[in-house]
Each structure stands twice: as structure tokens, then as C-alpha cells.
């Protein structure tokens, strides 16, 4: 950014510069704020012009400032806050209770709260039918937005996306995931063409990891199987075991998500156990790598936990804990898995013990992703014993964290469980709303992330892609290359 807009005794000019720093056109701003472009234009005209110029709500100023300042360091945010307060203090009439000095913002946090309230009100006004008041208000310990009941699913998703990051986050996520897979796929082909099979294997491990990240389990399986054929040609036992361990996990998740009547479900479980044990035995007998052995043991523990076999899962999880005893984040993962294991087999005292311990450790590490998962698990556990108030409380806390870290999958899981909570409490309108919201996010996700081809003109990126592909083919660590160009690692 060149320099921040300054208030110089002209409110209309300041509002124009603030808006222009974020939205190129009044139409874009209008679409974002649910206003006509002519209203945006009137905000940017001097109020001395009685026909056109009008004062914008201070919430509108707060929203513009929040969008402009969210990536700025605190010192720059304070400068921007000072300019906004100057515009409110001197640009609005002092004899109007809505526009007096009390409307200035005490700090950046208060400005952001005002921005959130204003945008929520705009969404509310935009969506509420004139003859309807059917709104569900979320509790104070969660995010202070209102959700309309019985809206078309697409509107619920738009609401979710708006809360996470209305301007670019989800678009960027879709872009990054799609282009990451595209780049890695092209790089794998190029490595094979150059007869660099070892590099093709490393790139396949990375591409498979990206697929697992977004629940594309069948695609991950296909990638790992092709890569195993390469490692066998290279007589590379180490990377064969790595691929087999990941393949086991992919089959486990595929089996878990299959319907009980699905004939392939049994085969998925068999494949998961076969590859998982092969990987575990290779690392245990042939290689001195405690971290890889721990990963293999953890994958087997998850497999048997999913099958509700604690007597088989527990020893693998305990071995994983021992191997990862000096790694706090990995230890946390094991406690979560143990909690889920005992929840699956309805040994609730043990489940709560491990989940509470994982929550304690997560708070020490300030890991919001893991904390969100743990709170979600606690909510599920309380739901299982029909303690609905505690279940909703923990779901709301998880929801707040997933909103903060932009996790659509996390939100979908939370809303699915809120649907169950409200269904058990016979609150059918809310149950329907959250069922609809969670289903729609999954539909959105599948549409965006399971497409094999990118429907984009790549001509402008050809040279850029060529350079990145060459780096990927030569690099020992593809993740570093992806980070350099702002893609997922």
C-alpha cells in the first residue's frame, strides 16, 4: 500500500479515498455492502449538496477501515484509527446523537466490532422479507451474527463465506488448491519424462498429501499406487513404506465414509490393514526412523479405532505416544485420537479424560486448529450422553474458532452436529437450518475441489508455470517451492 488515506476536513473525500483503497468501483462496494452504487456515490459527495450528498453510517466507515487495515501492523492500524476518528469527530454534526463524538472508536478492536455489527445488519436487512421475523440469534459466547431460517442453501453458504473473509480468502483457497494440484501433476509428468523417478515419487507424496487434506481419498489412492510402482522399480523400500502408510490412511477414511451396504467397504478395510501393517513392519525392521514409525503406528491406531477395536488400537496409540514423547504437537494428536477411540466404543469416562487432557495441551500451545477439533469432539461427546446445553456450548466455541481460522470443513462439521442437537431438542426450524447449512458447504466444497481440470485461461501463466515446474522437478523439498509462490505447503 502506498499510504493511508488522511482526513483533511473533507469527509466525502476521505470516504472516497477509503473506499477506493479497497474497491475499485462504487458497484463493487455496493455489492459487498448490499447497497446500490448510487448510494455509495452519495456517500462520496459533499453534504452541502442537499440533493445528492448524504452522511454514511459510521459502521460503513468502520467496515472500510477494517478491510483496509486487517493485514497492517498495529502501528499502522492505530494511524488509520486516528484518521477515522478525526473524520467522525469533525465530519458529522455534533447535535445529532447518532453522529457525535461518542461514535468515535476507543481502539481497533471496537472499530472491528462496529464493522461486524454493521455488516450483519446490512445482511439482515437485505435478506429479511418484510412480513417475516424468523431469525435465530446465536449465543453471546459465539459470533454475534444472525442467521435467517429456511433460506436457499446458496444464501447460507454466502453467509458463511462472508463471515470468514468476504473479499478473497475462499477464492484464494480455491485458487491455491487447484493450482497446487495442477502444478504438482505437471511436475510429476515432467520428472517421469526426464526419467527422474525419484523426484516423481517425492512430488507424488506431496500431491497425495494435498488430496488427503481436502478429503479426496480416491484421488490420493490413485496417486500413491502409481508412485509405489515407481519406488518398486527403484528398489526404494523407505519411500515405499511412506506411500503405503499414507495409502492405509486413505483407505481407512474411504471405508469410514462408505455406506454399510457398500460391497467395497470390506475391501477398503482389508487394504487399509494390509498396507498399514506392511509400512509399520518395514519401518520397524529396516529403518531407524522413529518419526516415520510413529506415523505408521498412528495410522494403524486410527484404522482400528474406526473399526471400534480398542484392544487393537490402544497399543499402537501408546507406541505412538512413546515415539513422539518429545514432540508436543504430535503428542496432542495422539491424545485427541485416544479420546475419539474411547468415544467410538462408548467408554465415555476414558474419552472425556483424554479429550480434556488434549484440550489442556492445546491451550498451552495456542493451536487453534487442534483446539477447534477438540471442542468439536467434546461437543459430540456431550451430545452422545444427551447433555444438550454443554454440547451446544462446546460446539459454539468450536464454531467461533473455525470462523476465526477460516475452516469451512470445521464449520460444516459443527453445523451438522448443531443440527443433531436441535433435532433431539425438538427445535425443528433450527435443526433444518443447520442441516441445510452443513450440506450446502459440503456441496460447495465438492464442486470446488473435486474438479479434475481448471476452467481458466492459463496462457498468461505459461512461463510462470514452466519455471515452477522446473524448480519442483529439481527440488528435494517441493513444499518449499510451493511456499515461495504462495501456494499450499
Q: What is the pLDDT of residue 486?
A: 61
Identify the band that residue 439 occupies on the pLDDT scale cut at 50, 70 and 90: confident
How far from 387 is each of 137, 191, 378, 397, 425, CA to CA, in Å?
A: 21, 55, 11, 16, 11
As a whole number, mean pLDDT of residues 16-27 equals 89
- The three-state secondary structure class of 456 is coil
Determine contact, residues 324/334, Cβ cutoff 8 Å. Answer: yes
Among 44-48, 103-107, 274-278, 441-445, the range of highest mean pLDDT: 274-278
As a whole number, mean pLDDT of residues 174-181 equals 61
pLDDT at 164 over 60: no
Q: Give per-residue pLDDT as tens, 347-376.
A: 878 878 887 787 777 777 677 777 888 888
Q: What is the pLDDT of residue 120?
A: 66
d(CA 301, CA 74): 45
Angle made by CA atoms 312, 267, 197, in degrees to the nearest 5? 95
d(CA 339, CA 325): 18
Identify the band that residue 2 occupies on the pLDDT scale cut at 50, 70 and 90: low
How far from 50 is each of 16, 41, 55, CA to CA, in Å?
A: 18, 14, 11
331 within a domain of the structure (yes/no): no
Helical packing angle, 328-344 and 348-365, nearest 10° = 160
Beta bridge partners of 148: 135
Q: Give per-residue pLDDT as tens, 327-346.
A: 777 777 777 788 777 877 77
Identify the band that residue 51 occupies on the pLDDT scale cut at 50, 70 and 90: low
The total domain count for the chain is 1
Q: What is the pLDDT of residue 460?
A: 42
C-alpha dihedral, 397 to 402 to 403 to 405, nearest 10°: 130
d(CA 427, CA 425): 5
Q: Is the pTM of this model over 0.95?
A: no
Q: What is the pLDDT of residue 247?
A: 94
77 within a domain of the structure (yes/no): yes
pLDDT at 457 over 80: no
195 within a domain of the structure (yes/no): no
pLDDT at 281 over 60: yes
Q: Give per-residue pLDDT as tens, 70-104.
A: 778 888 889 999 999 999 888 876 544 344 445 78
Q: DSSP letter string over 340-391?
A: HHHHHTT-HHHHHHHHHHHHHHHHHHT-HHHHHHHHHHHHHHHHHTT-HHHH
Identify the band that residue 123 occupies on the pLDDT scale cut at 50, 70 and 90: low
d(CA 194, CA 317): 41
43 within a domain of the structure (yes/no): yes
**What DSSP character marks residue 44?**
T
As a whole number, mean pLDDT of residues 401-428 equals 82
Q: Give per-residue pLDDT as tens, 191-205.
A: 888 898 999 998 899
Least confident interval from 153-167, 319-333, 385-399, 414-428: 153-167
The fraction of the chain above a pLDDT of 70, given in percent, is 76
As a whole number, mean pLDDT of residues 2-17 equals 88
Task: Tell me which residue of 213, 215, 227 sits closest to 185, measured CA to CA.
Answer: 227
Judge residue 428's burial from the number of C-beta atoms within 10 Å of its C-beta, 0-12 exposed, 13-18 middle, 19 or more buried. Answer: exposed
Identify the band that residue 156 occupies on the pLDDT scale cut at 50, 70 and 90: very low
89 within a domain of the structure (yes/no): yes
pLDDT at 449 over 60: no
For 81, the domain range is 11-127
d(CA 4, CA 380): 46
364 within a domain of the structure (yes/no): no
What is the grid cell recorded at 30?
455496493
As a whole number, mean pLDDT of residues 116-131 equals 57
Q: Which letter, b or e, does each residue of 384-422 get, where b requires 16 or more Cβ atoms within 10 Å of its Cβ?
A: eeeebeebbbbbbbbbbbbbeebbbebbbbbbbbbbbbb
Determine contact, residues 200/191, Cβ cutoff 8 Å. Answer: yes
pLDDT at 176 over 60: no
27 within a domain of the structure (yes/no): yes
As a whole number, mean pLDDT of residues 374-387 equals 83
92 within a domain of the structure (yes/no): yes
As a whole number, mean pLDDT of residues 51-68 equals 85
Amino acid at each position: 500500500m502506498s499510504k493511508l488515506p488522511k482526513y483533511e476536513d473533507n469527509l466525502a473525500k476521505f470516504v472516497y479515498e477509503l473506499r477506493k483503497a479497497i474497491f475499485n468501483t462504487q458497484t463493487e462496494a455496493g455489492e459487498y455492502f448490499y447497497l446500490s452504487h448510487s448510494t455509495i456515490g452519495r456517500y462520496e459527495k459533499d453534504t452541502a449538496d442537499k440533493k445528492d450528498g448524504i452522511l454514511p453510517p459510521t459502521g460503513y466507515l468502520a467496515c472500510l477501515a477494517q478491510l483496509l487495515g486487517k493485514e497492517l501492523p498495529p502501528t499502522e492500524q492505530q494511524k488509520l484509527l486516528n484518521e477515522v476518528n478525526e473524520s467522525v469527530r469533525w465530519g458529522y454534526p455534533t447535535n445529532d446523537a447518532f453522529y457525535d463524538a461518542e461514535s468515535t472508536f476507543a481502539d481497533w478492536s471496537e472499530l472491528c466490532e462496529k464493522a461486524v455489527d454493521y455488516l450483519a445488519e446490512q445482511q439482515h436487512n437485505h435478506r429479511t422479507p418484510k412480513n417475516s421475523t424468523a431469525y435465530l440469534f446465536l449465543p453471546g459466547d459465539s459470533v454475534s451474527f444472525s442467521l435467517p431460517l429456511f433460506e436457499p442453501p446458496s444464501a447460507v453458504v454466502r453467509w458463511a463465506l462472508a463471515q470468514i473473509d468476504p473479499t478473497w480468502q475462499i477464492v484464494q483457497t480455491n485458487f491455491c488448491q487447484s493450482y497446487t494440484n495442477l502444478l504438482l501433476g505437471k511436475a510429476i509428468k515432467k520428472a517421469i519424462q526426464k526419467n527422474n523417478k525419484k523426484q516423481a515419487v517425492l512430488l507424488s507424496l506431496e500431491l497425495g498429501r494435498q488430496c488427503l487434506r481436502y478429503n479426496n481419498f480416491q484421488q490420493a489412492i490413485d496417486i500413491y499406487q502409481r508412485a509405489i510402482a515407481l519406488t518398486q522399480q527403484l528398489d526404494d523400500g523407505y519411500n515405499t513404506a511412506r506411500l503405503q502408510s499414507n495409502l492405509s490412511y486413505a483407505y481407512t477414511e474411504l471405508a469410514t465414509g462408505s455406506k454399510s451396504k457398500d460391497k467395497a467397504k470390506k475391501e477398503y478395510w482389508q487394504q487399509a490393514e494390509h498396507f498399514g501393517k506392511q509400512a509399520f513392519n518395514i519401518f520397524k525392521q529396516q529403518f531407524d526412523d522413529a518419526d516415520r514409525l510413529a506415523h505408521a503406528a498412528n495410522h494403524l491406531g486410527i484404522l482400528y479405532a474406526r473399526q471400534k477395536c480398542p484392544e487393537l488400537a490402544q497399543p499402537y496409540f501408546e507406541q505412538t505416544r512413546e515415539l513422539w514423547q518429545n514432540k508436543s504437537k504430535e503428542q496432542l494428536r495422539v491424545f485427541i485420537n485416544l479420546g475419539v477411540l474411547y468415544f467410538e466404543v462408548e467408554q465415555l469416562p476414558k474419552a472425556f479424560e483424554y479429550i480434556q487432557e488434549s484440550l489442556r495441551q492445546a491451550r498451552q500451545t495456542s493451536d487453534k486448529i487442534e483446539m477447534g477439533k477438540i471442542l468439536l469432539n467434546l461437543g459430540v461427546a456431550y451430545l452422545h450422553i444427551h447433555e444438550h446445553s454443554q454440547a451446544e456450548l462446546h460446539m459454539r466455541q468450536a464454531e467461533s474458532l473455525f470462523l476465526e481460522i477460516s475452516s469451512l470443513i470445521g464449520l460444516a462439521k459443527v453445523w451438522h452436529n448443531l443440527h443433531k442437537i436441535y433435532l433431539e431438542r425438538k427445535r425443528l426450524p433450527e435443526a433444518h437450518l443447520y442441516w441445510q447449512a452443513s450440506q450446502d458447504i459440503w456441496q460447495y466444497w465438492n464442486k470446488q475441489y473435486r474438479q479434475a481440470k481448471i476452467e481458466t485461461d492459463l496462457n498468461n501463466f505459461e512461463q510462470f508455470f514452466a519455471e515452477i515446474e522446473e524448480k519442483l522437478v529439481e527440488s528435494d523439498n517441493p513444499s518449499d517451492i510451493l511456499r515461495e509462490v504462495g501456494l499450499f505447503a
